[in-house]
Structure 1
Amino acid sequence: MKLNHHNRYSYSDITTRPQFDWPNGTRLAVYLGMNLECFSFSEGLGAELAPGGPQPDVLNYAWRDYGNRVGAPRMLELFDRLNLPTTALINSELYTMASGLAQAFAARGDEIAGHGRSNAERQGTLDEAQERALITEATEVLTKQHGRAPKGWLGPWISQSLVTPDLLQEAGYEYLLDWCHDDQPTWMETRQGRILSVPYPQELNDIPQIVGRKREGAEFGDMIIDAFDVMLEESQSRPLVMGIALHGYLMGHPHRLKHLERALRHMLDTGGDAVWWTTAGAINDHFRGLGL
């Protein structure tokens, strides 16, 4: 039996790759992927607090809306207290549905990355022309709002078609976050060049853990601490990227935020100058400059 292959990258054992450092001789790069998402009332996709009923599903829609009205602003205050940057992953419809929220992250110097139009849809189900139009539409909104085109992209629901990397590279994107196959950046081949895959977490991600596996904030906080401790030690042997994926309607609730703060304070206290707190875009920039 011959297995299909994506032909985007070849196999590589992380223990045998060339050595390099992150800025200032650090070996562990940490970034927070803050998902700022919006949803369509009475239709489309959306994470669920409880099994959804007939539309309009007010329970789940309002629970998600809490994330933009309360949860994300609360988390932004935490990031301010700890002086931590984020990569804000923005649905372009957010500028209509939650005006000012994305701008609040941009105002503190956070990176703005593309995250589709909304999380009520998947781009991977579209034909090539429709997907190209989605990418173009979302990119134009972010560029107009912030005066520069985003460098990075995360598909809504980590959704990709067979040509998504090609379309993103052709649209001018330098990196994507959808592939969770490594702890170091990986070059991916496209039909007109290359695009960089920056590691994005599916384990240290509040949706798979809290919504999918029904874990709570304390356990998620412990997972972050455990992963950080292991990766900080391992980074003495090889450079690594640790991402943490967050959503306002999950970690922005008070009973969970305290555990996120506990985990982040542990990381700050333990890692010290050995950790590069950064953004996915800065990881892309530095890795590209290495010439690997």
Structure 2
Amino acid sequence: MSDETRPHGRYGYSALPQRPVYDWPGGKRLAVYVALNVECFAFGGGLGAELAPGGPQPDVLNYAWRDWGNRVGVFRLAELFDEVSLPASILVNSRIYAECPGLMEVFRARGDEVVGHGRSNAERQGTLPEDEERALIAEATAVLARAEGKAPAGWLGPWISQSRATPDLLAEAGYRYLLDWCHDDQPTWFTTRGGGRILSVPYPQELNDIPSIVGRKDSGAQFAEMIVDTFEEMRAAAEAAPLVMGISLHPYLVGQPHRLRPLRRALAHIAEARDAVWITRPGAIADHAMALPEGMVPG
């Protein structure tokens, strides 16, 4: 079979209206989580989002803009989460622990979930040979496990980068769920080699500040409006089926004051509805889905 016609083989087709209906905890139907990407980048090379077209390396303009997120923006976001009483999941590059000492302690004190996010966002894991990708996962996992006292249960590849073997490697490394795929609004089982499986928890690419603000050049107000409109539309749709709504944030983008203010309004809007929806973290979503009777979760 040629690469042009080769299927991924991870899950079968499943139409949302034809699936079994279940509830999230408390009889709620919409699960909402906030994912904060805490990332580091190489100076003078590698990948990285751009505020403006970069010049020759070292690209100080864009490197310093991203670095501002780890020195200022990330702490403003932690304060915002406290202000509106929202939990968060921290998708962290393992090199953050060495490059930004003291940063992760803020989220550890909050009790936030820590999710593996590779070593650095200056690289993609999906382009590596399998043995090198396995080593990257092992290296990043070991750093997080030492720092946090336990290995992370979930993984998001830097730049949503996966090879054909990534779900297998993650399952073999002990991961229970992955976040890279945005193919559904419910958790989905992926098959892995050797008869195993790993759960895919929905992760947003539309409700994500990089595609919105960097890609489409949306304003902070437009991005905040997207959050509110998505929340209200999914809250209505969830009357028919349980759904997952994720919000993906990056400190160097929405930590900026002119974007932080409209984001505050959007997150406060969601927080005010906490009695009607399940405000949670992806690890808790994965745990609930895994505990459901066999056949309730598509795969």
Amino acid at match of 2:90: A
Aligned pair partner of 2:142 in 140, 158, 176: 140
CA drift at 1:44:
0.6
SS at match of 1:274: coil
In the TM superposition, what is the alpha-carbon distance from 1:229 to its structure 2 partner? 0.5
| Aligned positions of 1:24-43 closer than 5 A | 24-43=26-45
Residue number in structure 2 paired with 1:123: 125
Partner of 2:290: 288
State which of 212, 231, 236 in structure 2 corresponds to 1:233: 236
Equivalent residue in structure 2 for 1:113, among 109, 112, 115? 115
SS at match of 1:12: coil
Aligned to 1:85: 87
Match of 2:222 among 212, 216, 219: 219
How many residues of Structure 1 are paired with residues of Structure 2 in the alignment? 291
2:5, 2:135 → 1: CA distance?
32
User: How far apart are residue 272 of structure 1 and its match?
Assistant: 3.6
1:137-185 Cα distance to aligned partner (Å, 9 max, x none): 0000000000001000000000000100000000000000000000000
Give 1:195 shift: 0.2
Say which of 12, 17, 20 aligns to 2:19.
Answer: 17
Equivalent residues of 1:36, 1:102 under 8 A apart: no
> Is 1:198 aligned with 2:201?
yes
Aligned equivalents of 1:140, 1:89: Cα separation in 2: 15
Tell me how far apart the structure 1 counterparts of residues 149 and 45 of structure 2 sit (CA, whole Å). Answer: 32
The amino acid across from 2:262 in the alignment is H
Q: CA deviation at 1:3?
A: 2.8
Moved over 2 A (4+): 1-4
In the superposition, the TM-score normalised over structure 2's length comes to 0.96
Q: Which whole-Å CA distance do the structure 1 matches of 2:291 and 2:278 have between them?
A: 16
The answer (yes or no) to whether the contact 2:85–2:271 under 8 Å persists in 1 is no
2:37–2:250 contact (8 Å) kept in structure 1: yes
1:166 is aligned, of 159, 165, 168, to: 168
Structure 1: give runs of 5+ residues left out of the alignment.
none
Residue 96 in structure 1 maps to residue 101 in structure 2: no
For 2:146 and 2:269, how far apart are their aligned partners in 1?
A: 38
Counterpart AA for 1:81: E
Rounded Cα–Cα distance in structure 2 between residues aligned with 1:100 and 1:182: 36
Residue type of the alignment partner of 2:197 = R
Cα drift, residue 267 of structure 1:
1.7
* Mapping of residues 61-76 of structure 1, within 5 Å: 61-76=63-78
In 1, the alpha carbon distance for the partners of 2:61 and 2:260 equals 21
Match runs of 1:239-278 below 5 Å: 239-269=242-272, 271-278=273-280
Give RMSD over aligned pairs.
Answer: 1.0
SS of the equivalent of 1:273 reads: coil
Q: Identity percentage over the alignment?
A: 65
- Tell me the TM-score normalised to structure 1 length: 0.98
Whole-Å separation in 2 of the counterparts to 1:195 and 1:103: 29
Gaps of 5+ in 2: none
> 2 CA distance for matches of 1:286 and 1:171?
21
- AA in 2 matched with 1:77: E
